[in-house]
Structure 1
Amino acid sequence: MPKKLKPSPSVVVGIDIGGTGTKGGIVDLTKGKLIGDRVRFDTPAPATPERVAQTVAKIMDELASRPECPSPDVPVGAAFPAIIQRGIARSASNIDKSWIDTDVDALFTKRLERSVHVINDADAAGLAESRYGAGKDVDGTVLMITLGTGIGSAFIHNGLLIPNAELGHLELDGHVAETQASAVARERLGLGWEEYSKRLQRYLSHVEFLFSPELFVVGGGISKRSDEFLPRLKLRTRIVPARLKNHAGIVGAALQASHGD
């Protein structure tokens, strides 16, 4: 058998809980990359606290069987689709409403028998991109915008996260922005790339006016098609696709856990 690596704060488990899938991996934080393959299970429906905790435990059991996995005294990071305040979920836009006011840190810590630190999923992706990806070494404000079921956002200033910036919930033209400009909204409304780009332009121009970022980083599954819409946008701010793609949430969650926050 391969020799088990000694526990190190630079090797941390990250778990990314999404509306449809829950993924986890062992992260080398010196490189911002996964060690070995990620593990994925469908997110249960309904995604209640107990059922999601069981899925997270299945992922942890699989990762714990690997020689690279850090020992139980190393914290685990978990990216979660909700406003997270001191480990407690304060919203539930794309997950079961029973999560609201649940102490997610405590629930997962008890279930895994390991210390768990939870972070908003877009914040996790933003942290990863600012440390290892498209936002690395950028001074000033970097805004990570994730286009998926809704619009997630992360606000990074000089490498520091300002958590829970729910910019997808800005009101725009009488609507919540994410209902009009998310990737799912494009599909629901049957928009071609030109029409969708106009909606995204309106939204991003508004965000640009409010916060004057140095850089926009666009993530989410639709970022794979960024060549269809980014060249159509006319912004003062540079805008680029995310680099870490599907691993950003896992890596960012692990990074947050390594800080003990």
Structure 2
Amino acid sequence: MASKTAVGIDIGGTGIKGGLVDLDEGKLLSDRIKVATPQGAEPPDVLAAVVKVLAQLGVEDPSVPLGVAFPAIVKSGRTLSAANVSPKWIDFEAEKFFEDGLGRDIHFANDADVAGIAEVRYGAARGKDGLTILTTLGTGIGSALLYNGVLIPNSELGHVQRAKHGKDAEAYAAYSAMERDELSWAEWSARLQWYYSHIEFLFSPDLFIVGGGVSKHADEFLPLLDLKTPIVPAVHRNNAGIIGAAALALG
């Protein structure tokens, strides 16, 4: 297999996705494989689901570089938080757990951070100076901070607090909140307006990028936002986690 290919696995609160990636082009070489995240998302069950994805991709060969993205703060291979997965992941040696279970070396990182890597290498953040903030709108809100193309890891901007209600922003403004509360695009955009205005005030970014599956409907909600900062959809949308994880597998 060519040296410029790798596998990316993107573990989320509702689905686990994977694909073989051409790292010269930043594009999938395979179909995107997706399985449901197991109920409760405990470590052994998530590992079994990842094994299933790799088997369906036909890339169980440990010589193929593998990157894994996970919805948690990740430091030195440990998951220090657990967003929309089992609390058993908190302070867990996740990278070693996956390496032992898969019988291969991996590169392990936060899911929004790897989406940011995909966009800075192959997408909307490529060549951009200053501060770019990528947010992924899905089950929760993930974030990646990119300054002059360099990732500042483990930002957790989905967890800024709403003073009025004392809840995390993602509980109010994630795409899952739109589905849960049966909001129209306009109603959801009003929640996003609060969120992005607040992040804009805190960080004064030069560019916002919106990722996650809902970014394919960007025309429905981005034009409704009134911000000083340009805001654009992610180029790689819901594949950014797969592509970024694969890219990091080769450094």
TM-score by length of 1: 0.90
Distance 1:238 1:33 in 2: 25
Larger radius of gyration: 1
**Deviation at 1:74?**
4.5
Alignment partner of 1:243 out of 213, 226, 235: 235
2:182 equivalent to 1:190: yes
Q: Would you say the 8 A contact 2:189–2:224 is kept in 1?
A: yes
**Deviation at 1:40?**
2.0
Q: Which residue does 1:41 correspond to in 2? A: 35
Q: Which residue does 1:134 correspond to in 2? A: 124
TM-score by length of 2: 0.93
2:106 equivalent to 1:112: no
Q: Unaligned regions of 5+ residues in structure 2, if any?
A: none
1:161 match: secondary structure: strand
**Deviation at 1:60?**
2.2
**Deviation at 1:46?**
2.4
2:154 equivalent to 1:167: no
2:30 match: secondary structure: strand
Q: Unaligned regions of 5+ residues in structure 1, if any?
A: none
Q: Would you say the 8 A contact 1:216–1:238 is kept in 2?
A: yes
Q: Would you say the 8 A contact 2:158–2:169 is kept in 1?
A: yes
Distance 2:64 2:204 in 1: 38
* CA displacement, residues 56-97 of structure 1 (integer Å, 9 cap, x when unaligned): 1222233345xxx8x624531001111111111111120111
Q: Which residue does 1:24 correspond to in 2? A: 18
**Percentage of identical aligned residues:** 53
Q: Would you say the 8 A contact 1:125–1:252 is kept in 2?
A: yes
After superposing the two structures, state which structure 1 stretch, 108-117 or 187-196, moved more.
187-196
* CA displacement, residues 112-159 of structure 1 (integer Å, 9 cap, x when unaligned): 111011111111111101111111111111111111111111111111
